Structure 1
Amino acid sequence: MNRTAHAVRIGIARGMTEFKLSLKSPQDQSFYLFTAVAAMIYLFWNRNDKVEGTSLLAPTVALPSILGLMIAFGTVVGPAYTLAMEREDGTVLRARAVPRGILGYVSGQVVYQSISIVPMFAVILVPSFLLFDDLAHRGAAGWLTVLWVTVLGLLAVLPIGIIIGSLAPNAQKVGTWGMLPVMVLSGISGIFFPLDQLWGWVQVVAQIFPMYWLGLGMRSAFLPDSAAVIEISESWRTLPTVGVLTAWAVVGAVIAPIVLRRMSQRASGSAVEAAKEAAAQWVR
């Protein structure tokens, strides 16, 4: 028990350190800037468009949906890339060599990837509130909803990123295994336009995955009750949102440790060297 608690504490400290370093990283700063610019261009381009069936402007409805997308994208692609790269460079192998090392490693990744949502939200929310009006209609209650949707969303989506990072053959394949599916789901999950505009079978598929429910939960936090008319069943469906995200969190909590353990057991010095050689050839 003491070893487990110690490993978790070390992991948390490692995650916090990685987060602080990421704020100073030109690469991460560029990502945050790109995210902000892309979101602002989309919102500004549609600033005068009204959402059909409501008196709300497009940025008012799109902003919370984009926040839901950022949770899904950041906590699937982020840990998937990190785990795949650190499996190849030997970080996972070194973690396995110490008692409870994998537990500490995963704890650090969970902390780092979760806290990384904060600057992603900040670079979108701050300029949005400066440029657009009527973005938040619920006050303090709305921000509490943002909090629980974010926490439950992280629990639902982070294991997916860990599973993809464990299964992807190499870091270059994460784009196909992780980024591409997220991009496809963003197009059918009601992020950029109401879900009921799509075919019935597409609506069913979209509602299986967490991204739709993340967007719905965020819209329920920012928009007035009258805006629920654009949603399926013309309601925010809070209980189904909690239920689906919780189900994904539970399934992920069961499957992710199994997949991660098997991946770490396959890690070896020869595998790391082979991955480095393959990466060097790919760069050349």
Structure 2
Amino acid sequence: MTLDIPTIAMHFGDTLLSTMRDVLPIVVIIFGFQLAVLRRPVTHWQRVVLGFVYVVLGLALFLMGLEMALFPLGESMAEQLTALDFLFGQGEAIPAQVPWHEYYWVYLFAAAIGFSTTIAEPSLIAVAIKANQVSGNTISVNGLRIAVALGVAIGIALGSYRIVAGDPLHYYILVGYVVVVVQTYFAPKTIVPLAYDSGGVTTSTVTVPIVTALGLGLASTVPGRNPLLDGFGLIAFASLFPMITVMAYAQLSVWQTRRQAEAAERRKDNAL
């Protein structure tokens, strides 16, 4: 897309209209229930209307930014990191079948981009703040965000390896959910619902476009891979592994608290 002012303005207008059309059902449902079912006026309606205007404008600008910058940048990075001249250097002998370990920069980039996009995910920030408020500050906002981001980083790196290796997707997902079920039994019951929700909030506005672009870029450049069969599926890893890391974070916290309590009890006994 050319970057002249009329083209950008036309593209923003189309994106804005599309965003308004997408948000309209939400507005109809919320105001419909408020006025027709609850039969009560909307409090501070000027602020509510202004908030919806901000939401529509923000989403339109955000979608344009994704389309113009983040999505093509993620795909081009995947293509450059899997280029044979980058993997082996100029003048080096290139094997007929590139081994999976030669793509280590791809795995590192996948983990880094998964971690950074999750930290910046607005939906995760909102969930972490609410969890902190409801739990009485026992759940740390930054602790939860880092635990989820680590899960996404591990998942995206492992998913990138799956694309490079060409392994079937369902094997990884089945094993992952077995781990989740086992952890659910042993993890603190108060953290399990939050861990399950944490897997869902990662598949939102920032993470999905970049991770999808990375998967499609990998599948398009790794020899023998099909973009349709192998390019998709990274989002499943991004949803699965945060559940594991959040429950592991809670289990480690409980273990550390119990250990500190036992140490304090031993010091008390020694003092007596």
Q: TM-score, normalised by structure 1?
A: 0.29
Specify which structure has the bigger relative contact order, considering alpha-carbon pairs within 8 angstroms and separated by 6 or more residues: 1
For the pair shown, which has the larger CA radius of gyration, 1 or 2? 2
